[in-house]
Structure 1
């Protein structure tokens, strides 16, 4: 396993992170525990969750699953970096969502109880809340850091200018501010290259990528459909995208086969090769999924393949950050 620093911090994390969105409803608790065991054994030390995960059972269920796993072997808590999120609705109450100081503090306390831990390593704002002033957000986050309940603060699904405004407000308070941004990024979803990735690099944020295979679209979906083994890739984001990008995905799978590479390995390796990317989040349902993703860490994609991928999945405009990508 390759480890690296999370942005400008001294915190070291694995270049693959274990995403837990499938825990509860798709992966039952005993198998979830085995997956976390296997991931840790293979060197994956970053576990990413959210207070709303597990909604197929009930919101908060996934944090409880992770918490019971941590409790089974208390030494694990010092071995792993636990990241969770705040902001999405946890109930029907007027103040049960968003980034008010009230909700941030209350949600953190609730996540700590579910996780059975004294601290959260990376507490991420799940979505921007433009109704909450940054002075209020940082007041709450600084309090949690001062109390030792949160080590670092991250963002998720932010725009580039949200990162900039968050950091400007944090600097006014002499706070560390954001240390990471978690965004959707893949060969199919390249818009973060315009402003999110440049902003993250400019402010020293580690970039955590969710859905590097676009919900399974880039994981050999056509082959799996032919063999009847498609599960996640046969529904949701991947299924909708397949209708639009079917011919391109077919060409992509042929290209991978021509190079003797698995499509999932190519898609993940491409994300990991991009400048500024700290880690790719994987959402495994089996130990084999973890082992397959680990192959991407050892896969150096040849320039000929990278060039062809840019033809199949072109960047926005002329490529690179805005506004240069728009200039003609």
Structure 2
């Protein structure tokens, strides 16, 4: 397996095509396992680690939230490993961390305080990619970019990204950033996989036009694209939501898994390879809970899909019909 690094959008920064997502660290993955996952990911060439201030989950019975645990685990790993300069470290801001009126969203006050708190938990003096976790319609972009610009000047963040934006949010944010002479957005994290292709209408063409890297989250459709039929039919436990989705999409899942068997590739590998085939995609986030899951994700980089297979995947999982407005108007 060769790790072919890609530019993060139009920037000069090179990142691995798989990103180590750490949402499970502290909640579903204990610290010792998380350390081993980070060690092995970096040894395999994965140089982009992604977290958020709210990741981690409750750690004790008397804790209501447990927010910040994932960042703290990464911080302790960085202190132990001494490998801070070998990774591109990304975290996020927006979600409520406490119950006060200014403990959430994207005011300049909130961004500054959240960044300082993340830096402390991570045990570092800078964040390589600071991402807005959602859009804040109540804070003007001039205020958001003023806060980000100040953090950049202070050396506390290097690049700014977004997550869960609409295409028009991306364009608006970029316009306001360029008015201030800033680079603006380097990347956007969006829900994107074979089962969820809505962003092909407007988000994908907007990112391509602006040179902003696409980072898909939920690349295996919350488990639908992992060979779920065999697991489900064997009686393995799955969430009620996933079971409902499977019953709704069972005919397509059956065709998909049959195609994967035909080409001799694991379903989860095909799902990741399909995303990475898109030139707008910089990298896909994978959130392994175990070392075996990490190794399985890395194996996807050895899968190459033929034009015939790509066509058949489109037939099984049709997108919105192309890009707007041609997808729905003459």
State whether TM-score is above 0.5. yes
8 Å CA contact retained: 2:33, 2:291: no
Shift of 1:298: 2.0
Contact 2:265–2:303 under 8 Å retained in 1: no
Structure 2 matches for 1:1-328, cutoff 5 A?
1-57=3-59, 58-74=66-82, 76-227=83-234, 234-235=238-239, 238-316=242-320, 318-319=321-322, 321-327=323-329
User: Deviation at 1:286?
Assistant: 1.9
Question: Are the aligned partners of 1:214 and 1:238 in contact in 2 as well (CA < 8 Å)?
Answer: no
Change (3 A) 1:225 1:212: same
Q: Output the CA distance in 1 between the equivalents of 2:67 and 2:123.
A: 16
Q: Distance in 2 between matches of 1:133 and 1:40?
A: 38
Q: Using the alignment, how far apart are the partners of 2:40 and 2:276 within structure 1?
A: 21
- Deviation sequence 1:181-231 (CA, Å, 0-9, x none): 01110000001111111111111111111111011110111122244556x
* SS class of match (2:260): helix
Aligned-residue offset at 1:241: 2.1
Structure 1 unmatched ranges of 5 or more: none
Partners of 2:4 and 2:75 in 1: how far apart? 25
Note the alpha carbon deviations across 1:232-257, whole angstroms, 9 max, x for none: xx227634421321221122111111
Matched pairs, number = 322
1-side partners of 2:307 and 2:240: how far apart? 32
Structure 2 gap segments, 5+ residues each:
60-65
How big is the alpha-carbon RMSD for the aligned residues of Structure 1 and Structure 2?
1.3
Q: Name the CA shift for 1:236/1:20 in 2 (closer, same or farther; >3 Å).
A: farther
Q: How far off is 1:313 after superposition?
A: 0.6
